[in-house]
Structure 1
């Protein structure tokens, strides 16, 4: 269950990270504004995926939004910290462009490392009835 919850968060984070980096890079933004956009979009898409599944169960938007915040905030935050930390520490990754293998390789590896680190966080939260354990109640 923890791995599935982490994969769910990873999907939203990856969509946001890639979209943010593509937009920022295409617009010629610097590293920090591009990274900030990628992080904001990672949270947005991570929450959106959870919201979508909870809303399908018939819960009102306000309740679904609170559930998404409670379920995903720690997971996405850890994932973003690890993912972006790997990118920052990887020599040359911050300056790689969309056409560089380094850009895509570093991004893929950073997301994989984030998955490995975040899975125990989700396991810990689920074991305490928090995180995706709360969302699981709304899945049919």
Structure 2
């Protein structure tokens, strides 16, 4: 259950982190500003994903947010501190750019380390009936069939994890292809230079 809770938190954090780092890197923002954007988006997406099952189960927006704030804040905060620290410690990862293998490998490493850092936090909270345990009863509730709640999507954590992994692997593949293309271009340019002589 702790692993599931950590994975659930990680999905929201990963979406926010990846989006924040992409925005900061693409816009050429400083590392500090990029980290602030990433952390803010990680909390937004983390809390939003955790709120969906509560809203679908019939809780109001205010009640859902109060449960989610109590349940997920420590887990998300742990992930964010560790994730951003690891990205900052990997030489050049924050400055690598979106089409760079180092950026995507750094993201994969930092999110993996963040998962293992947050796991004991979630386990500790669950053992005391806190953290994700506060939302668990609502995850099992039957969805309400009336009003706007019937339009709230049920997004399985496994599906989100698969999308995140596919997206990160896609970024890595594009980066590798770009590196190979750049290598071929420089080789072609060098060959052309030799032929000109």
Return the offset for 1:24.
1.4
For residues 59-89 of structure 1, the C-alpha deviation after alignment (integer angstroms, 9 at most, x for no partner) is 1111100011011100000000110111111
Q: Equivalent residue for 1:18?
A: 18
Q: Equivalent residue for 1:111?
A: 111
Return the offset for 1:109.
0.6
Return the offset for 1:117.
1.2
Return the offset for 1:133.
0.3
Q: Distance in 1 between matches of 2:138 and 2:31?
A: 39
Q: Equivalent residue for 1:41?
A: 41
Q: Equivalent residue for 2:7?
A: 7
Q: Distance in 2 between matches of 1:119 and 1:88?
A: 21
Q: Equivalent residue for 2:157?
A: none
Runs of 4+ in 1 over 3 A off after TM superposition: none
Larger Rg: 2
Unaligned 5+ segments in structure 2 are 141-197
Higher relative contact order (CA 8 A, sep 6+): 1
For residues 78-102 of structure 1, the C-alpha deviation after alignment (integer angstroms, 9 at most, x for no partner) is 0001101111111111211101100
For residues 106-139 of structure 1, the C-alpha deviation after alignment (integer angstroms, 9 at most, x for no partner) is 1111000110111110000000000100000112
Q: CA RMSD in A?
A: 0.7
Q: Equivalent residue for 1:130?
A: 130
Q: Equivalent residue for 1:99?
A: 99
TM-score (norm 1): 0.97
2:25, 2:95 within 8 Å by CA — same for their partners in 1? no
Q: Distance in 1 between matches of 2:108 and 2:90?
A: 12
Return the offset for 1:26.
1.3
